């Protein structure tokens, strides 16, 4: 049996929406899952303004909007559970109105926070599966961590005032970097 759980989160100065979809079998939600539209998180490639392909709403005062996707899927065959975790940036739903290096670094922070929680998810799923072969506990782990991710994204924008507070932005840049370093990827998700 294949279980899928997806979360797409959209971040901007005044918008934070999450969509969680759980399915018994893979049936993509009404979101564009064209692989060319997604950029996987990489330690070796930072976002550039060329990645932001979405149209900027004419009525917005927001500097930019970043859309990230943390996907989690698993399958159980007998007593074996295999899983996959993805952290991606969605180009067509991300846009920039104020295209400076400083704003881009703030938007990269949103993508990095998503990666932090993909790594936390990997760690918790591994720990859970080392003690249990019951897949019933996987979705609650995912849901808990995606709620924590949403809270951290909100804290990031609130404390930095959407990057306007430069001292807080510097603190968050350091905090995000430290968290990424603490949660080194295992390379198998």
- What are the tens digits of pLDDT across the range 77-117? 988 999 999 999 999 999 999 999 999 999 999 999 999 99
Domain assignment present for residue 187? The answer is: no
Domain assignment present for residue 48? The answer is: yes
When the pLDDT of each residue in the chain is averaged and rounded to a whole number, the result is 85
The C-alpha R_g of the chain, in whole angstroms, comes to 17
Residue 158 has pLDDT above 90, yes or no: yes
Domain assignment present for residue 114? The answer is: yes
Q: Into how many domains does the chain fold?
A: 1
Residue 162 has pLDDT above 50, yes or no: yes
Domain assignment present for residue 25? The answer is: yes
Domain assignment present for residue 188? The answer is: no
Structure tokens at 99: 């295209």
In tens, the pLDDT along 16-62 reads: 333 333 333 333 344 456 889 999 999 999 999 999 999 999 999 99
Domain assignment present for residue 87? The answer is: yes
Q: What's the pTM value of the predicted model, to 2 decimals?
A: 0.83
Structural domain boundaries, residue 91? 2-182
Q: CB-based contacts of 71: which residues, under 8 Å, 6+ apart?
A: 4, 5, 6, 7, 84, 85, 86, 88
Domain assignment present for residue 74? The answer is: yes
Domain assignment present for residue 171? The answer is: yes
């Amino acid at each position: 049996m294949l279980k899928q759980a997806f979360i797409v989160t959209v971040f901007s100065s005044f918008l934070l929406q999450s969509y969680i979809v759980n399915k018994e079998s893979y049936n993509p939600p009404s979101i564009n899952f064209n692989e060319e539209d997604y950029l996987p998180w990489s330690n070796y490639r930072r976002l550039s303004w060329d990645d932001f392909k979405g149209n900027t709403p004419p009525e917005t005062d927001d500097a930019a909007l970043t859309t990230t996707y943390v996907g989690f899927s698993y399958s159980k065959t007998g007593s074996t559970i295999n899983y996959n975790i993805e952290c991606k940036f969605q180009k067509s739903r991300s846009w920039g109105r104020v295209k400076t290096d400083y704003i881009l670094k703030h938007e990269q922070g949103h993508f990095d926070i998503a990666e932090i929680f993909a790594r936390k998810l990997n760690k918790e799923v591994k720990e859970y599966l080392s003690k249990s072969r019951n897949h019933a506990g996987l979705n609650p782990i995912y849901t808990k961590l995606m709620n924590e991710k949403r809270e951290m994204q909100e804290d990031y924008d609130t404390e930095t005032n959407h990057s306007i507070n430069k001292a807080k932005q510097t603190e968050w840049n350091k905090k995000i970097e430290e968290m990424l370093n603490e949660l080194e990827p295992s390379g198998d998700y």
